[in-house]
Amino acid sequence: MKKYAFLLGSHPLISFLEILNILTVEKVPHGSIERMGEILIIQLKLTAAKLNKLQDILGGTIKIIEIVDDYRGTIFQLDKILTRENLLNNYFAQHSSKINFGISVYTTKSLVYAEINWLRNFAYQLKRRFKDQYSIRYVDEKNFELSSVMVANNKLVETGAEIVIIKQEKSFLVGRTRTVQDFRSYAQRDMEKPSPNPKSGMLPPKLAQMLLNLSRDTGQTQVFDPFCGSGVLLQEALLLDLDVLGADIDEEAVKDTIENLEWLIKTYNAAAPKLGQDKIKKISVAGRVRVADATRSRWEKANQANTFIATEPYLGPPQRGPVLIHHAREISAELEKLYLGFFTNLKKNFSKVRRVGIVFPVIKTNEGLLYLNILEDIEKLGYIRRPFLPAEEAKKEALASHRGSLLYSRPDAFVLREIFVFEKK
């Protein structure tokens, strides 16, 4: 087994839980797991192809770093570890003539001035040391935190290395980045699809991936999104190699979803061989997306034991500032009816579906956060919340709510997303 460090995204707890569930679902053998803030250190047994696949499917992981060295000491001793020989043998991906490299540091306490200075000097010294035989370039980032965009644009993984230093209490882990999130592909599937339909509130593709990955169970190969909107979640599900079914009450939304899924299959499969990716299943989309009301319809195709639900129903009207409490209560009351209607219908018409990953809205009001008050009713219908974390641990987490859910939001948002995974008793 090798040690890897996963750099987690803007919601590290959700990213962490996503990884845990996927390791189980994908049956990846793993050893000890240690989380320090935005970094997750984990021992894994996997091939290079599987590592790339993990990076592609994990919406919450920004980089995966392979740990090469582990030493006790200070940062000023790094030159004893990163010798010319060690760099050529274990860090630089390609050492025929041209090397591009950069250095990133992840630490819970920021670096002091002397450390920053020393590191920068060290980087330039390295450059000088290799200059005799190599055309070497150092990608200087003043805060020692290269973004995935910088790593990709400078081709560090392919033509050299992003050397990553992880500072722990009394020791350092040093490694090289093996994969970074493919920002171009996310941007393409977010912005270039034919029918973006921004009016219904867009689910970010990375969040769609995380919701799918948090909700899946081993052996579940089909996902149903009964509020599919323009189909962001189903798009991501296709990329996860899941069979997809979608429905929406709005005819336009169904049309958009069909167009978007057809576009994804076509463009992705045309580009896949060039990018070294596997193609996705070519399916006939038309029979898999239909107009239906999630509070009253039935669909035998979706009522199967191999099927789970992952969905973001309507979150209410967008808000530009804190909502007055009486107005927020009115909005919530409407949404509670819709959500409960959905769960009631689920019990009646989709009895074989056992898992439901779902986003609830939480409204920021002038008197604090207002949550949908329907958990007891949902439990009475026979759906219980799957605990993401043991209760004691959840209390320490800023991103876990008092109700055992996960909170996802941008800093300036006035409607937050609350993520639950329910399981049928």
Ligand X SMILES: C[S@@+](CC[C@H](N)C(=O)[O-])C[C@H]1O[C@@H](n2cnc3c(N)ncnc32)[C@H](O)[C@@H]1O
The contact set with ligand X (CB under 6 A) reads 200-201, 203, 208, 226-233, 248-250, 253, 293-295, 312-315, 338
* Shortest spacing between CB 360 and ligand X, in angstroms: 12
Q: Name which of 103 and 211 has its Cβ closer to ligand X.
A: 211
**Among 44, 50, 154, 169, CA closest to 104:** 154
Q: Name which of 90 and 195 has its Cβ closer to ligand X.
A: 195
* Shortest spacing between CB 321 and ligand X, in angstroms: 21
Q: Name which of 241 and 293 has its Cβ closer to ligand X.
A: 293
Q: Name which of 250 and 397 has its Cβ closer to ligand X.
A: 250
* Shortest spacing between CB 251 and ligand X, in angstroms: 9
* Shortest spacing between CB 294 and ligand X, in angstroms: 4
* Shortest spacing between CB 209 and ligand X, in angstroms: 11
* Shortest spacing between CB 3 and ligand X, in angstroms: 36
* Shortest spacing between CB 295 and ligand X, in angstroms: 5
Q: Name which of 81 and 291 has its Cβ closer to ligand X.
A: 291
Q: Name which of 119 and 203 has its Cβ closer to ligand X.
A: 203
| Alpha-carbon span 107 to 377, nearest angstrom | 44
- Residue corresponding to tokens 């969040």: 207
Q: Name which of 33 and 340 has its Cβ closer to ligand X.
A: 340
**Among 333, 334, 353, 328, CA closest to 343:** 353
Q: Name which of 12 and 60 has its Cβ closer to ligand X.
A: 60
* Shortest spacing between CB 102 and ligand X, in angstroms: 35
**Among 387, 49, 59, CA closest to 203:** 59
* Shortest spacing between CB 196 and ligand X, in angstroms: 9
Q: What is the 3 state secondary structure string of the chain? A: CEEEEEEECCCHHHHHHHHHHHHHHCCCCEEEEEEECCEEEEEECCCHHHHHHHHHHCCCEEEEEEEEEEEECCHHHHHHHCCHHHHHHHHCCCCCCEEEEEEEEEECCCCCHHHHHHHHHHHHHHHHHHCCCCEEEEECCCCCCCCHHHHHHCCHHHHEEEEEEEECCCEEEEEEEEEECCHHHHHHHHHCCCCCCHHHCCCCHHHHHHHHHHHCCCCCCEEEECCCCCCHHHHHHHHCCCEEEEEECCHHHHHHHHHHHHHHHHHHHHHHHHHCCCCCCCCCCHHHEEECCCCCCCCCCCCCCCEEEEECCCCCCCCCCCECHHHHHHHHHHHHHHHHHHHHHHHHHCCCCCEEEEEEEEEEECCEEEECCCHHHHHHCCEEECCCCCHHHHHCCCCECCCCCEEECCCCCCEEEEEEEEEEC
* Shortest spacing between CB 140 and ligand X, in angstroms: 40
Nearest residue relative to ligand X (C-beta): 229
* Shortest spacing between CB 341 and ligand X, in angstroms: 7
- What angle separates helix 205-215 from helix 183-191, to the nearest 10 degrees? 100
Q: Name which of 161 and 323 has its Cβ closer to ligand X.
A: 323
Q: Name which of 144 and 350 has its Cβ closer to ligand X.
A: 350
The CA distances from residue 138 to 110, 122, 163, in Å, are 22, 11, 11
The CA distances from residue 243 to 85, 267, 285, 304, 326, in Å, are 48, 18, 10, 12, 42
Q: Name which of 93 and 249 has its Cβ closer to ligand X.
A: 249
